[in-house]
Structure formats: C-alpha cells, structure tokens
Chain A
Amino acid sequence: MSNLAIQAEHLTRDFATVRAVDDLSLDVPAGSVFGFLGANGAGKTTTIHLLLGLLEPTQGQAQVLGLDTRTQSQRIREQTGALLEQAGLYERLSAEENLRFYANVWRMSVSERNERIKELLAHMGLWDRRAERVGTWSRGMKQKLAIARVLLHRPKLIFLDEPTAGLDPVAAAALRDDLAALAAREGVTVFLTTHNLPEAERLCSLVGVIRQGRLLAVGSPDALREQSGGARVEIVGTGFDDSLVASLRERADIAAVALENDHLLVDLSANDTRAAPIVSAVVAAGGQIEEVRRGKESLEDVFLSLMEDAQ
C-alpha cells in the first residue's frame, strides 16, 4: 500500500447546474494534518462527502486508505471517522450513551469500549459529566464529545469539517489544543476543513486552498508563503517619504514596498534576503528608525492573494 491516505484524481461533482468540485487532484500523505482552506460554499464539505463515498463523483476517482470511493465506500467508512458540519450527537442521550452507541456501531468489545470511553472523556475533561444529557451542554462541550466520538474506534484517518466553527475563542483554542494533542498521540491522518486560517497555520503540516470547487494551491504553509513571495520586514520610524519608497522599489532584493503612516512594509524578494542592507539604505536616506520587525507573510495573506489571483 502507498503511504498516501488520500489520492484524488480529477475528482468532479456536479449538482444540477453547479459544479461543486472541479477537477480536484490531491495527495494527502498518511500521518499528516491536512488543512483544506476555502470560503463558505467553496466545495470543502462536498469533497469530504466524495471521499467518504457518501456521494458519487460525476467524473474522476479517489482512493482513501487505498480503497476506491465508488466501490469500497463502506470499507472506507469502517476505517475512518468523521465530524461533519454538525456535531451529530443524540441530545436526548447521555454523553456515555452517545459514545456507547458508536462504539457498538464499530463493534468494539465491551471491555475495550469502556476503557476507551473513559480514556477519551477523561482526556477531554468530560468524564465527571458522562451521565448528563448532551442536550444540556454548551456547544464547546458538544464539539469535544463529537471529537471523542470520531477518535473512539481508533480510525486511521479522520475528517473534521469546521471543527471550531461557532465556538468562542477560548473554547476554540482549547479544542485546537485537544485536537493537536490527540492527533499526535493517536498518529492519525487528519483532513481538516476550515476557513479559520490561523487555526490551519497552527495545526496543519499541509494545506490546500480551494475556490469554487477548484484547488488553487497545495503545499506546506511555509512553501505556500514562499510561492507567494517570501519574508516581510516592517520598519517603524519617522522621516519616510515617497522618494524613499521609490528608491527602495528599485532595489533587486525588494519585491514590494508600501508606506502606511509611519510603517514601511517591505516584502523581500526571497526568504533568505538580509534586512540589514535595506535598513542601512533607509537610514542613509534620512529615515529615523525606532523599530525593525522581520516576519513571514501570514497564511491569511497567502490565502487572500490566492483568492485575488483567482478572481
């Protein structure tokens, strides 16, 4: 078996007149955390449905864990876990009953089931509340329980569709920490869809950007930043003017310069470009510098520039 958890080739899905997924080709290595980034309606959820074999592609094909999504969908669902757009919990049942149901669905033995339920609920800080009806819980607690349910049967691959959507920042951060810790501990491949870019930057080793069903870019966050233009230097101070900006733009080691109030934003032409000669040039031109910050372009900047390019 190849070391790819997901391999999609020219995957396409039409709904009436709308093409939800358009010629998507994608490889996700086993053991990676893959972030699938896109705005609402970009085709992320449809892609998950296709990969789980819940929908048939109009064209193309995909293999998940070496299994064909058209002909072996039930075997795919046996070996994967999915947290889809909604938590999907039975709110009239207790937390323990929810997990017990899905443990039985995955045919876990009674002893394995009880041990695993205790392990996951304890890890999520929900063990003491296991007998409570889920309907009385907060959204954050429900999402934690839903993630416990996804991991219950130790799947090789998990699909998480916007796992932190609708959570307050504190709950989202806690959930992200739990998710990162559990994914690392369990060694599962994670296919995560989100439009929360800092979340993707923090969790994902590989990201893909999708817009209107088309995959615009795929790679590690660092590789995407590099493709997009490399590092950035922010110089804070006074005495900056248009002539300084014009002279900096002529330099080969600078890709772009912008002046915003007392901030000079300099995009370097390459990641390994040194900032010192540029700072010297600014000082030589009469600029009085108070602070220099070197940073990378955020994934959000990369995402937005990809979206602009696509338009």
Chain B
Amino acid sequence: MIDDIKTMMWKEWREYLSAGGNSRRGNLGVIIFVLIVGIVLPASNKGTAFLDSPLPIVLYGCYLPIFVIINVVADAFAGERERHTLETLLASRLSDRAILIGKIAAAVSYGWGLGLVAAVLGAITTNLAHGTGSVRFYPANMVAGIVFFGLATATLASTAGCLLSLRAGSVRQVQQMLGVGVMCVVLVPVIGINLLSKSLRAQLLDKLNQMGANQIFLLILIVLAVVDVILIAVAFARFRRSRLILS
C-alpha cells in the first residue's frame, strides 16, 4: 500500500513539475508567488519583527499552500478524465485507497513543502535585509504554527479539491468551486462577526483576548484537523471505481 501511494505521488509530482497544473505558465506563476511571499514581503517589512509576528503563519501556513494546491489539485481526477487517462489508471492493479491517498498526499506535500520553503526563504531574507549581526529564526511556537497550520490547510485544500474533482465535469469547474470555497471560508467569519451585536462582539473579543494567541491557534488547528478527517472519510466513501469509469 505504501509503495503504491509513493508510486502515485511520484506520477503526480512529475506532472506538477512538467506543467504546473495545466500549462507551463502555471509553474512560472507558482515560482513568482513563492518569491514574492518568501522574499519580497519579508524584505519590505521593517526590522526583524516579521519573524515574531503571526504573519508568517498566515502567509506560509495558510495562504501559500492553499493558493498552490488549488492550482494543481483540480487536475487530480477531472484532469485525468479530460485527458482520457483515468480509465487506464482505474484498470490498473492500484487499489482505490492507493489512488486517492496518493493524489491527496501529492498535493499536500506540494503545497506544504512550498510553504516551508517560502518560510525558510522569508527567514533568510529577513536576516539579510534587516540583520543586526546575529542570525535570527522564527520562535519555536511560530515554527510549530507554520508547520502544523501548513499541514492542516494543505490537507484541507487537497482533500476538498480531490473530492470536487471526483465528480466535476472539468478542471476549470473544480478551480472555480475551490475559489468560491476559499472566499466563503475567508468572508463568512468576517461577515458573521460584523453581523453580531456590539455587546456580543465585545464578549467574543474579550474571550479571545483571555485565551491568548497560542490557544486560539491551537483551537483553529483542532477544528481544521477535525474537518480534514471528515473530508478524507467522505472522499473514501465517494470514490467509486464503477462510477468513475462511466463518467
């Protein structure tokens, strides 16, 4: 099973690197994005405070993995269907689980890995641009935040993408649905907080202040992990070879 998953991941990675999703421009876009988030943004910050702020968690643990994964994961099943390779893959000896986990794991490792690369680039850039002589890195809680948030959000984006890709008619449709999904995830809490009465909002902020940043991040991380597990279970349940072969 592990060998089969690794085989599936190898193929997915080869496709990512040979085309970056759907076109050669896809790779260039990803490289430019990683350079902006990993070099330009830390360089434009003042001093080394960037390393201690929550911004790296948002950039490298959430924003970057989601952006790059949306670009490639839509291709997982919808792309294979469009290019008429899915039927042959399904007729191979690979099990349903190996195919599905291999595709999810490939997208997770791609988005998460690039997030970690950009985080290291960010630390190097901060030291080079604003260094005071001694080398500084992210504090331990920030490293843990970048690593675990990156993994959780990459898994969320990859599993949601694979799930949509299983049934979608085209790659573009999956990308559009994922884009709308990301907007909902970002906008719904903001709109929801604004819809609360002033007193409720004050109570909520008060409670969050009492919890502290670490506890808030931990809570969000637990929620993300639970959603990830649910989505993976749904993806397993919805993967039907007989349905895919007819689609």
- Inter-chain contact B19/A101, CB cutoff 8 Å: no
- Inter-chain contact B10/A106, CB cutoff 8 Å: no
- Inter-chain contact B91/A82, CB cutoff 8 Å: yes
Which residues of chain B are within 8 angstroms of A93 by Cβ–Cβ distance? Answer: 11, 14-15, 18
- Inter-chain contact A84/B15, CB cutoff 8 Å: no
Flag the segment in B47-55, B80-88, B139-147, B179-187 that touches A.
Answer: B80-88
Which residues of chain B are within 8 angstroms of A92 by Cβ–Cβ distance? Answer: 14-15, 18-19
Which residues of chain A are within 8 angstroms of B88 by Cβ–Cβ distance? Answer: 82-84, 86-88
CB distance from B34 to the nearest CB of A (A): 21
Task: Report the Cα distance A198→B241, complex, angstroms.
Answer: 35
Which residues of chain B are within 8 angstroms of A85 by Cβ–Cβ distance? Answer: 84, 87
CB 8 Å contact bits of A1-44 with B (1 = contact, 0 = none): 00000000000000100000000000000000000000000000
CB of B242 within 8 Å of the partner chain: yes
CB distance from B9 to the nearest CB of A (A): 11
CB of A89 within 8 Å of the partner chain: yes
Interface size on B, residues (CB 8 A): 25
- Inter-chain contact B87/A86, CB cutoff 8 Å: yes
CB of A297 within 8 Å of the partner chain: no
- Inter-chain contact B85/A101, CB cutoff 8 Å: no
Which residues of chain B are within 8 angstroms of A77 by Cβ–Cβ distance? Answer: 91-93
- Inter-chain contact A52/B91, CB cutoff 8 Å: yes
Which residues of chain A are within 8 angstroms of B84 by Cβ–Cβ distance? Answer: 85-88
Interface size on A, residues (CB 8 A): 29
Task: Report the Cα distance A86→B90, complex, angstroms.
Answer: 13
CB of B94 within 8 Å of the partner chain: yes
In the complex, residue of chain A having the shortest beta-carbon distance to the beta carbon of B88 = A88
CB distance from B233 to the nearest CB of A (A): 22
- Inter-chain contact B93/A106, CB cutoff 8 Å: yes
Task: Report the Cα distance A78→B4, complex, angstroms.
Answer: 13
Which residues of chain A are within 8 angstroms of B87 by Cβ–Cβ distance? Answer: 84-86, 88
CB distance from B238 to the nearest CB of A (A): 17
- Inter-chain contact A54/B245, CB cutoff 8 Å: yes
- Inter-chain contact B4/A105, CB cutoff 8 Å: yes
CB of B206 within 8 Å of the partner chain: no
CB 8 Å contact bits of A65-100 with B (1 = contact, 0 = none): 000000000100110001111111111110001000
CB of B58 within 8 Å of the partner chain: no
CB interface residues, A 99-136, toward B, < 8 Å: 101-102, 104-107, 133
In the complex, residue of chain A having the shortest beta-carbon distance to the beta carbon of B17 = A92
* Given known A54-B242, A84-B88, A86-B88, contact A105–B94 (CB-CB < 8 A): yes
- Inter-chain contact B7/A101, CB cutoff 8 Å: yes
- Inter-chain contact B83/A105, CB cutoff 8 Å: no
Which residues of chain B are within 8 angstroms of A133 by Cβ–Cβ distance? Answer: 18
Which residues of chain B are within 8 angstroms of A105 by Cβ–Cβ distance? Answer: 4, 7, 92-94
Which residues of chain A are within 8 angstroms of B242 by Cβ–Cβ distance? Answer: 54-56
CB 8 Å contact bits of A124-160 with B (1 = contact, 0 = none): 0000000001000000000000000000000000000
CB of B202 within 8 Å of the partner chain: no
In the complex, residue of chain A having the shortest beta-carbon distance to the beta carbon of B92 = A105
Most A CB contacts (10 A, CB to CB) among B93, B94, B242, B245 go to B93
Which residues of chain B are within 8 angstroms of A87 by Cβ–Cβ distance? Answer: 84, 88
Q: Which of A78, A88, A97 contacts B93 (CB 8 A)?
A: A78
- Inter-chain contact B91/A90, CB cutoff 8 Å: no
Task: Report the Cα distance A243→B92, complex, angstroms.
Answer: 64
- Inter-chain contact A74/B85, CB cutoff 8 Å: no
Interface residues of A (CB under 8 A from B): 15, 49, 52, 54-56, 74, 77-78, 82-93, 97, 101-102, 104-107, 133
Interface residues of B (CB under 8 A from A): 3-4, 7, 10-11, 14-15, 18-19, 83-85, 87-95, 241-242, 245-246
Seed contacts A90-B15, A97-B14; 6 additional CB < 8 Å A-B pairs: A74-B93, A87-B84, A93-B11, A93-B15, A101-B14, A104-B7
Q: List 20 A-B contacts (CB under 8 A).
A: A54-B242, A55-B242, A74-B95, A77-B91, A82-B88, A83-B88, A84-B91, A85-B87, A86-B84, A88-B84, A88-B87, A88-B88, A92-B14, A92-B19, A93-B18, A97-B14, A101-B11, A102-B92, A105-B94, A107-B3
